[in-house]
Amino acid sequence: MKKLFFICLMISYNLLAQNWKLVWSDEFNGTSINPSYWTFETGTGTNGWGNNELQYYTNRTENAKIENGMLVITARQESYAGRNFTSARMKTQGKKSFKYGKIEARMKLPVGKGSWPAFWMLGDNITFVGWPKCGEIDIMEHINSDPSVYGTIHYDDNGHVSKGGNTSTDVTQFHVYSIEWDSNTIKWFVDGRQYYFVYIVNGVNSTEEFHNPFFIILNLAIGGNWPGNPDGSMQFPISMYVDYVRVYELVTDVEKIGTEISNEFELEQNFPNPFSASGGSAFGGNPSTTIKYSIPAVILRQAQDDNVMVSLPVGRHGTSNHDNLVTLKVYDILGREVATLVNEHQPAGNYEVKFDGSNLSSGIYFYRLQSGSFVQTKKFLLMK
């Protein structure tokens, strides 16, 4: 059984407990598609929506409707506006867009040669910078009768670049397809099980596109460069069912503990140490470790004019008159930021936060606490 140990050689800092707060959803419980949320894209696009797709997208109820508390997007084989297939493509562009968060949909998909259902996102700035410079996040794509679903990003690095992964699942049953997206990573999940992730911290490898707002798209394409064209095995009409689409924001709770306030910054050793994130070690299988730290009631600052040290008293809301931003970040051995644990203004007090390193690879990492002119960096060794 794999074991994960954190051996902290030096450190001073806090830990984080995190929760997801629902900020927007469409549960599709009405009688029609909500025009405050969704816009239909119609027609054939440019070069079959850039992929040589065969369908003509419409806004007809024959192709998209609410039924039994679900969105149903249906592709049909019919002669329409010079094409032999129709379907629907819906987007939240100009109505709802999101930068970071957990974005998920519960869906059931069709199968068959030429089918291409997708749940994905494009950058709001596509009108100004075009594709792929706007960035694209494919939360879920499926083609034909493939046993896998795919999660991918597309972006510009002196030309189109894509990175992605896949996992097997029975798409004919309902599953929750999601990403968790923050300033450091994008992670892909099926039913809460992660199967792929990419680093985007500080725009590493030209991924700066993914630090802007994106809008959501749902569509069911027919044919195209990737799946190929339908054959006789496809029995039309085919439908994609969407139970809901939900978006959450990450709420970071740094727990304030005790009432006694320190007069100086203090960072304690994490506990337990070592600890196992694999959940099966001799250390009790605790998947997290706790770090405690203190923010002083009086912050000493150097007065620029007379080069003397002055004390700033605690304000009426428990913060100093010069309220300092507190940050705690984790870096790999190459100096790349891999996690932000704390990034907020905090009043004087004692804090603790919990950290789960199960998504990191084995190796040496550094974490840095900074508040005003105070900076402290420590090192830990992660072993799996």
How far apart CA 157 and CA 339 sit, in angstroms, is 24
Tokens 């867009």, located at residue: 97
Of residues 104, 141, 180, 209, which has the active-site annotation? Answer: 141
Of residues 136, 180, 209, 352, which has the active-site annotation? Answer: 136
Return the closest-CA partner of residue 173 out of 153, 147, 197.
147
How far apart CA 358 and CA 251 sit, in angstroms, is 20
Contact 119, 221 (CB under 8 A): no
**128 sits in which H/E element:** helix 126-129
Structure tokens at 268: 């304690």
DSSP 314: B
Pairing of strands 175-181, 97-98: unpaired
Return the closest-CA partner of residue 254 out of 360, 365, 180, 328.
328
Long-range contacts of 269-274 (CB under 8 A, 24+ apart): 269/8, 269/11, 270/6, 270/8, 270/11, 270/15, 270/355, 270/380, 273/6, 273/7, 273/8, 274/5, 274/6, 274/7
How far apart CA 206 and CA 291 sit, in angstroms, is 33
How far apart CA 206 and CA 200 sit, in angstroms, is 8
Whether 249 is catalytic: no
How far apart CA 251 and CA 173 sit, in angstroms, is 31
Whether 255 is catalytic: no
Instruction: Give residues with Cβ within 8 angstroms of 254, minimum separation 6.
Output: 14, 15, 16, 17, 342, 344, 346, 351, 352, 353
Pairing of strands 238-253, 175-181: unpaired
Catalytic residues: 136, 141
